[in-house]
Every structure is written in C-alpha cells, then in structure tokens.
Structure 1
C-alpha cells in the first residue's frame, strides 16, 4: 500500500518508510478518530508509540513481539490516553509527556509519567533521536516530536497543536489561542522548512509549505 496518511477507524494501518525509521499510522475509535503512531528504529528494532489513544488491543497487535520502550502522550486530553494503562501494563514501556501536563495525565490514567519533557529535550527510539518542541495553548503541556531523517524532509508529530487548515482548538479562550498561534508560528513555522511533513492527532497529514501562506488568516479567524 502506498502511504497517503489517510487512515480511518477500523481500517488498515499505513506504513511510512523513512531513512532509519518506520512509522505506522493507525486511527482508533470511530467517534473521536484519533491517530496513533508506532515508530520503529529500523537498525535496532526499538519501538515508541505516540499517543495510546484507544483500542489497546489493536495498538498492542501493532507493537507485536518487538516490544515497546516508550509511550509519548502528546497532551493531557482524555481522548489521547484512554489505552495508556493497558499498553503500559502489557509492555512495561516508560511514559513520557510534557512537563506541564504530566500530573494531569497521571491523575486521569493512574499511570506515572517516567519522563517529564520540556522544550528542546530529546527522546530516543533506538538510534533515532526525536526533538521535543513544547507548544502550549491547546493544553499547557502539549508537545510535538520532530525527527530529521538523513537525506529526507523533517517529520513532525503535532498532537492537537497543528492540523491542515489551522491550529488546535482553544475552546473560546482568546488568551490560549494567542499563545498557541504564537508558539506554532515561532517554534514550528519559524524554524522548520516548507517541506516538513506533519502528522496530527486526528485526520490527514499536512506539509508546512501548504499551510504557511494561511497563518495570517488563522490569526484573524481567532480559533
């Protein structure tokens, strides 16, 4: 199957092959249609899961016998960690999350956060390093994960901070929206090239160059 980034709950996962890294994208829960991403270092076989959102059995099938070293939870909202306890219990994976959301994630899931991540921290999956970009606004501790494969475009896992067509919801909070659009503009669009592919917490992937011309429109729109 050619990777398109379009997945639906109950449908097949899609696999994206990058230099040194295999990314498997799956959608879970027909109501919320969350994306989960299994990252595997192709040199070591080590695996990392971005958002144990729901359907723990399905996620564990993807993990398979290779095991799981880390689960990164992109932010504290309930729909992104419903399967966290099940996945961690089955694999013993360490949970990592943004420092400002870590306590809430533990309160909501009963699972301790082993690594509280801050801006510019790194998370390893085998020989591959993921850079942490803290982007507050959708939640105080939302994080994105950036990988720069050798000889290929950067890839960014954005949680609910950035989607094709706009930033994530701030639920009518003007201050949170201003913070989110500022941080997305400076930390993502201000530092990464147009060819950067981003993978959000719901829906299809995007490319920064396609979205960059619309930043002013998003800011004017205010949500």
Structure 2
C-alpha cells in the first residue's frame, strides 16, 4: 500500500504505510496488518514501528535521511523490519529497556539506544515526546507530537479501548492505569494514531472507558 499522509505542520508530515505479516508469542501465531508511521519533512524523517517488510517502508522514505527507528514496543510484528531498515539506512533503533527480553527473541544484538519517559526527539519542524505506558508490554511507549495534535500509541490504545493483555509480560491493570493517568491527561481533541487499524481521539476513548471489559486471563 502506498504511503498516506495523515497529518502535517509546515513541511513536516506523518505518513502511514500498512504492512502485513504475523505476530507470534506464547506458542501462537496470528496474521496481522500493522501501521508503520513515518514522521518528517523532505530531507529527514523517523520511522515508528518498522513492521514485517522493509521494502514499502523504504519506498515511502525515498531519498530522505532516516534519523531513527522508534519502537513503541518489541513484539515481533512491530520490529521484524528494523534490521533490514538499518542495513539500508544505518538509522539507529530506539527501544525502552523493559522490552529487551522481547527484542532478544528476534535479534541477537541489542537496539542502538534506549527510550525513556520524557525523552524528546527532534525531526523536521516538530518534537516527539516519549511517554512510558506499560501494560501491553513492560516497555511500551507512546509518542506525542503536540505541534501536530497527535499521539502514536502503538498497541497501548486503540479505536475501542486498551490493547491486548492476555499474553506474557502484559497486565490489564497496568495498561488501564497507563491510559487513564497518562493518555487521558492529554487534550481531548488529540488524534490517536494506533499500531493497527483506524485512528481515534483521546476524547472518544475517554468517553467510552466504562465499556471496557477485562479480557479472560488478563
């Protein structure tokens, strides 16, 4: 699928590329489509969640310098193209250290840098702010861009509620606390760009939190 521009400020845009593959954990494997986000201008960019297939991601990048590959978490469907992207661009990878045990299931060498709550990453005309939101995985992070009025939530918050918490290293109580204390503190009009599926807003999701149901086994 060709890249789709979903937001912009000046010369800086956010593009979405959808890639397809599988997610495997706890002995199961599922077919999934992932949202890959490319943030930048016509000279430089960062990639958020290099998933499955590097080719369409690199096509969307074009001749731009890739400053970083930012991982919202280290489930295999979100990081399997990081190595190929590095080989093509030499862009360093960033991951919260609490997800290192998941990363190590895919790669024999570690990510290049750690992400921490409160970190700021500059690209184009915008600043990306890192918010540690554990629950879907211990090192899950969300990436807020105030100038664009968006937050990239990976698998922490979706159109319809929290991400999955029925598998290893996840916690329903932790993810709901992360969402309520950190994400619902953002302006209601903030657009939520998710790791899979459609976008939503903070206000829409806050308004229907009473409909959340704890998954069986979570």
Give yes or no for TM over 0.5: yes
Query: Is the CA contact 1:102–1:116 (under 8 Å) kept in the aligned structure 2?
Result: no
TM alignment of 1:201-216, pairs within 5 A:
201-216=195-210
Are 1:169 and 2:167 matched, yes or no? no
Which residue in the other structure is 1:135 paired with?
Answer: 133
Alpha-carbon displacement from aligned partner over 1:36-77 (angstroms, at most 9, x marks no partner): 0011146xx221000110111111111111121100011110
CA distance in 1 between partners of 2:104 and 2:15 (Å): 26
SS of the residue corresponding to residue 69 of structure 1 reads: strand
SS of the residue corresponding to residue 128 of structure 2 reads: strand
Which residue in the other structure is 2:214 paired with?
Answer: 222
- Runs of at least 5 residues in structure 2 that lack an aligned partner in the other structure: 22-30
Give, in angstroms, the shift of residue 172 of structure 1.
Answer: 6.2
Instruction: Please list every run of at least 4 consecutive aligned residues from structure 1 whose deviation after the TM superposition is greater than 3 angstroms.
Output: none
Aligned length in residues: 205
Give, in angstroms, the shift of residue 18 of structure 1.
Answer: 1.6
TM alignment of 1:108-147, pairs within 5 A:
108-147=106-145
Which residue in the other structure is 1:22 paired with?
Answer: 13
Are 1:49 and 2:47 matched, yes or no? yes
SS of the residue corresponding to residue 106 of structure 2 reads: helix
TM alignment of 1:73-84, pairs within 5 A:
73-84=71-82
When the two structures are superposed, what TM-score results if normalisation uses the length of structure 1?
0.85
Give, in angstroms, the shift of residue 123 of structure 1.
Answer: 1.8
When the two structures are superposed, what TM-score results if normalisation uses the length of structure 2?
0.87
Greater Cα shift, 91-100 or 23-32: 23-32
Alpha-carbon displacement from aligned partner over 1:69-106 (angstroms, at most 9, x marks no partner): 10001111010011110001110001011121135324
- Runs of at least 5 residues in structure 1 that lack an aligned partner in the other structure: 1-10
Q: 2:182 is matched with which residue: 187, 190, 202?
A: 187
SS of the residue corresponding to residue 211 of structure 1 reads: helix
Change in Cα spacing, 1:110 to 1:88, as seen in structure 2 (3 Å) is farther
Q: CA RMSD in A?
A: 2.0
Higher strand share goes to which structure? Answer: 2
